[in-house]
Copies of this chain bind each other. A is one copy, B any other.
Amino acid sequence: MIPNDSLDGWTPPVPRRTIARPAAAGSLLTAPLDESPANSTAAAVRRITEALARVDPNHPALSSYLEVLRSLATSLEESGQAVPARLDQIWQGDGVTGHDPATGPQNPISPPLALYDVGDGWAEGVVTLGLPYQGPPGLVHGGVSALLLDAALASANALMGTDGMTVALDIAYRRPTPLYTPLTVRAKQIRVEGRKRFVSGEIRDSGGVTVTASGVFVGR
């Protein structure tokens, strides 16, 4: 960790609300999927990550790719900002959802899962996951399912005009969730008790529900 990464003394800004209420039915709840340089760059890194998972680790060409990637990493690091400054910009400017590790098109880690207001309080999106998200053979990692559901639950909560930190997330794995198959991820706020918001969600493949989730958020 380089010294300017320290967040000691940094005061988190109150995030700008990224969702207007009520959202128009059908509207995108997560960050814009345009072909901006930031989105496109992340998409290219995502392709590299998927391709690397398909390459034999003993492939003789890996070493030459390594040199190019290292050189690129060094250049990009020189173009970057110190973390506290960058965080202030993310939270007051270009919006966190672009960087979200589940839904953010600017984050190469995310698939990304785009979520829409599909009516009746549901936040819903469809995503197909490849090798980088594998747990058991041919199946989605259980922790990745949890990551996607956590994001969907938070989005469904925000859709109802409430926000808050997750205090509990319970996941039940009912059937295996396959890779390379379109998966529907959806969530809905079920009820509010004081500052507590209860939200449920699920992942479905063509055969029905594979994973369910219940979450509790506590708002301000």
Chain A residues with CB under 8 Å of chain B are 1, 5-7, 10, 12-13, 15, 36-38, 40-42, 44-45, 47-49, 51-57, 59, 61-63, 65-66, 68-70, 72-73, 75-77, 79-83, 86-87, 89-91, 94, 96, 98-102, 106-109, 128, 130-139, 141-144, 146-151, 154, 165-173, 176, 178-181
Contacts and interface: CB of A to CB of B under 8 A. Distances in A.
B108 A79 contact: no
Instruction: Tell me the number of copies of this protein.
Output: 2
10 contacts: A12-B136, A37-B66, A48-B69, A48-B72, A49-B108, A53-B107, A55-B80, A91-B137, A146-B171, A168-B173
B99 A15 contact: no
Contact of A151 (B41, B79, B90, B143): B143
A51 B65 contact: no
Nearest to A163: B136
* 4 tightest Cβ-Cβ pairs between the two chains A and B: A54-B80, A143-B147, A143-B150, A38-B57
Identify the interface centre among A51, A52, A171, A181: most chain B CB within 10 Å of its CB: A52
Contacts of A99: 53, 131-132, 134
A66 to B, nearest CB: 5
B5 A108 contact: no
A83 B134 CA distance: 12
Contacts of A86: 53-54, 131
Contact of A101 (B38, B52, B91, B143): B143
Nearest to A41: B66
B55 A180 contact: no
